[in-house]
């Protein structure tokens, strides 16, 4: 091989025909890049994990190009790839609305048809700033100004459009897939700063095939049908309002579901050897400084002042758990100590990131902290993974995936401590029989962690549980135990949660089940509905029998047609409707109507026994 050969030449040399980019020594590059003869090269075809992202990134440039042609005075900002698509932020005097999406898509198809050659140019930082300033692209010039580099790369579509980008990209606009669709418009502050320009953010999706696009749009429609906010309204579970942004107003039925889930978790952890505690909501700044959270997390804390002191409303429970551990002298014989807390936390999330129960400011974690010795990390990790798997299965998630997050760039502690923590956690995970993927650089600032990811019934992934190994916090806060050698030692602290937060997990459950949660979780399990008013006494008798068995039952004796009643309770997702008519009273039968529309008439005692069996919670 020549010492100077492009990716295109290498494709021809190897008989590769459908590559869109290449990975050279682990780095994704354009096909026009020059490859050295000793490089390890992997071609990126449409089946490659990187392919869709590269194509989408090029499509985002095409969209920016189209926007500039339609509204020449528009200023382009950033256009990254995101899950299932991409977006582009622009500043434009013209208000972009969904009604204009067809017009933008038409212009994008024109640019694709023109088949511009896409070329990469390396420029000095100063020349790039000058170029983008001259063509009145202030956002690009600002981005370059803030880069700590000598040179930057830009990408051209012929000589008509240029954008700042690292790449890689497709070689021609004509190679962009025609299966794209603009999805929605939103507002976004420049660089996430509410004091800066408000930009228009246009979201889009793109796929290699029409089948993939159609499948995605169908799943999107299904996801909208399952939207937990709509379901919560139909079921009268909770609401949110502007006067308390990011916090939930739980209605009686929603609070019932919340407490059922919480009580179930309590039973599981009590059986697994945890003790439950409760720590204060507000803690003095000094403790957060000592723990390191003030430096790392201050911007996300809500602050209060009293008697000249600065207090923080807790965003996490960890420092409080350490204070409980520190009360009294602990011996190695006492370890492990498993301290659980359903701690109500508040985090000052950006208003634009808030989303129903999925992203909130006020939430309750099913939190726990395990204080153990170095030798106990392995057994405690395995024990936790078994508990987590049982809970997920009981809640309807038979499988989950695991991500191993190692040391982030900004962290505390020495590399030697991090090496030990990562090695121990990896070993315990492997011995737990769990496969994992590496989530590089995404560990907590104090230690590595496992992230447990659930997949719902329409294929979406939700990161819920975590397990974090912490060598740092007990030492910082002065927690110790007396070892077998009679000396003081700092315990290892395992931070762990299964659900993550109760609020978010209820949102996930509502979307996973489209509101028809398992009967043991349903806030109302049975409705007793009469066909005519003269059956009210008999209906009350049935209601009492069900109620005395501890079944969550409601009575519907309204002067409405039975079809109206059934329709109303189907909408509010009640699992079982007991229909009582004259024939049922006469024969001492009950007619049970199930969620799928089927119904069955059976003797009253048999029907009640059947309902009771269906409502049984999982065995803890």
Q: Which of these is catalytic: 318, 372, 464, 615?
A: 318
Q: Which of these is catalytic: 56, 338, 407, 449?
A: 449
Cis omega (within 30 of 0) for bond into 336: yes
How many beta carbons lie within 10 A of that of residue 504, not counting itself? 22
Its sign, for the CA torsion 406, 409, 411, 413, is positive
Q: Which helix (H) or strand (E) holds 356?
A: none
> Can you read off the two tokens belonging to residue 289?
């400084």
Q: Which helix (H) or strand (E) holds 220?
A: helix 210-225
Its sign, for the CA torsion 442, 447, 448, 453, is negative
Concerning whether 293 is annotated as a catalytic residue, the answer is: no
Q: Which of these is catalytic: 366, 367, 470, 556?
A: 367
Q: Which of these is catalytic: 30, 345, 365, 411?
A: 365
Q: Give Cβ neighbours of residue 113 (< 8 Å, ≥ 6 apart).
A: 174
Specify burial of residue 96 (Cβ count, 10 A radius: 0-12, 13-18, 19+). Answer: buried
Q: Which of these is catalytic: 68, 169, 383, 495?
A: 495
Q: Which of these is catalytic: 347, 496, 512, 538?
A: 347
> Can you read off the two tokens belonging to residue 199?
């930009």
Concerning whether 449 is annotated as a catalytic residue, the answer is: yes
> Can you read off the two tokens belonging to residue 122?
């390396």
Concerning whether 512 is annotated as a catalytic residue, the answer is: no
With both helix axes pointing from N to C terminus, report the angle between 228-235 and 502-512 in degrees, rounded to the nearest 10: 90
Query: What does the alpha-carbon distance between residue 593 and residue 601 come to, in Å, rounded to a whole number?
Result: 9
Query: What does the alpha-carbon distance between residue 469 and residue 421 come to, in Å, rounded to a whole number?
Result: 7
> Can you read off the two tokens belonging to residue 452?
């447990």
SS3 labels along 476-527: HCCCCEECCCCCEECCEEEEEECCCCHHHHHHHHHHHCCCCCCCCCCCCCEE
Q: Quickly tell me which residue has 């089946």 as its tokens.
A: 47
Concerning whether 472 is annotated as a catalytic residue, the answer is: no
Where would I find the beta strands (DSSP E) of 25-173?
A: 27-29, 34-35, 41-44, 75-76, 81-82, 85-91, 118-124, 151-157, 161-164
Q: Give Cβ neighbours of residue 292 (< 8 Å, ≥ 6 apart).
A: 412, 445, 446, 472, 473, 476
Q: Are 179 and 213 in contact (CB under 8 A)?
A: yes
Concerning whether 367 is annotated as a catalytic residue, the answer is: yes
DSSP per-residue codes, 34-54: EE-TT--EEEE-TTSTTHHHH
Q: Are 406 and 438 in contact (CB under 8 A)?
A: yes
Concerning whether 127 is annotated as a catalytic residue, the answer is: no
Q: Which helix (H) or strand (E) holds 73?
A: none
Q: Which of these is catalytic: 369, 383, 411, 552?
A: 369
Concerning whether 347 is annotated as a catalytic residue, the answer is: yes
Residues known to be catalytic = 318, 347, 365, 367, 369, 449, 495
């Amino acid at each position: 091989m020549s010492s100077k050969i492009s990716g295109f030449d290498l494709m021809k040399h190897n008989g590769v025909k459908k590559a869109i980019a290449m990975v050279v020594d682990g780095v994704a590059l354009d096909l026009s890049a020059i490859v050295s003869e000793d490089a390890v090269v992997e071609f990126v075809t449409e089946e490659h994990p990187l392919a869709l992202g590269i194509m989408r990134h090029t499509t985002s440039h095409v969209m920016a190009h189209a926007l500039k042609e339609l509204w020449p005075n528009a200023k382009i900002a950033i256009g990254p790839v995101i899950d299932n698509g991409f977006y582009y932020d622009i500043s434009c005097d013209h208000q972009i609305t969904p009604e204009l999406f067809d017009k933008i898509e038409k212009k994008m198809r024109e640019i694709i048809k023109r088949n511009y050659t896409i070329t990469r140019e390396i420029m000095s930082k100063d020349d790039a700033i000058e170029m983008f300033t001259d063509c009145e692209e202030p956002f690009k010039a600002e981005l370059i100004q803030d880069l700590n580099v000598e040179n930057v790369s830009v990408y051209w579509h012929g000589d008509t459009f240029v954008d700042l980008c690292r790449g890689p990209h497709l070689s021609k606009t004509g190679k962009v897939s025609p299966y794209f669709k603009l999805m929605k418009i939103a507002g976004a502050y420049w660089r996430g700063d509410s004091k800066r320009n408000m930009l228009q953010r246009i979201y889009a999706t793109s796929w290699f095939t029409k089948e993939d696009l159609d499948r995605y749009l169908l799943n999107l429609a299904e996801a909208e049908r399952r939207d937990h906010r709509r379901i919560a309204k139909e079921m009268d579970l909770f609401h949110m309002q502007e006067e308390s942004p990011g916090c939930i107003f739980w209605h009686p039925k929603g609070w019932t579901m919340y407490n059922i889930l919480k009580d179930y978790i309590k039973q599981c952890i009590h059986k697994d050897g945890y003790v439950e505690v409760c720590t204060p909501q507000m803690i003095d700044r000094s403790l957060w400084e000592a723990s390191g959270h003030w430096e790392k997390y201050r911007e996300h804390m809500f602050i209060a002042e009293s008697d000249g002191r600065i207090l923080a409303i807790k965003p996490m429970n960890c420092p409080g758990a350490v204070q409980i551990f520190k009360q009294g002298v602990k011996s190695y014989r006492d370890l492990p100590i498993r301290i659980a807390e359903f701690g109500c936390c508040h985090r000052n999330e950006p208003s634009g990131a808030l989303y129903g129960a999925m992203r909130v400011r006020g939430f309750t974690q099913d939190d726990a902290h395990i204080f153990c010795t170095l030798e106990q990390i392995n057994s405690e990790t395995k024990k936790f993974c078994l508990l987590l798997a049982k809970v997920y299965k009981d809640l309807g998630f038979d499988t989950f995936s695991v991500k191993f997050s190692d040391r982030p760039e900004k962290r505390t502690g020495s590399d030697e401590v991090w090496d030990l923590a990562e090695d121990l956690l990896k070993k315990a995970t492997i011995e737990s029989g769990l496969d994992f993927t590496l989530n590089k650089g995404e560990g907590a600032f104090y230690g590595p962690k496992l992230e447990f990811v659930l997949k719902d019934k329409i294929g979406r992934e939700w990161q819920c549980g975590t397990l974090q190994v912490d060598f740092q916090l007990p030492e910082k806060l002065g927690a110790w135990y007396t070892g077998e050698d009679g000396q003081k030692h700092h315990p290892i602290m395992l931070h762990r949660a299964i659900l993550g937060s109760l609020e978010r997990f209820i949102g996930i459950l509502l979307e996973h089940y489209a509101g028809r949660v398992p009967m043991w979780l349903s806030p109302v399990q049975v409705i007793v509905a009469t066909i005519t008013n003269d059956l009210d006494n008999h209906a009350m008798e049935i209601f009492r029998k069900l109620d005395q068995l501890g079944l969550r039952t409601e009575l519907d004796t309204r002067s409405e047609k039975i079809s109206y009643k059934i329709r109303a309770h189907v909408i509010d997702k009640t699992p079982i409707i007991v229909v009582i008519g004259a024939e049922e009273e006469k024969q001492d039968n009950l007619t049970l109507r199930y969620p799928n529309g089927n119904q069955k008439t059976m003797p009253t005692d048999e029907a009640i026994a059947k309902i009771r069996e269906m409502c049984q919670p999982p065995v803890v």
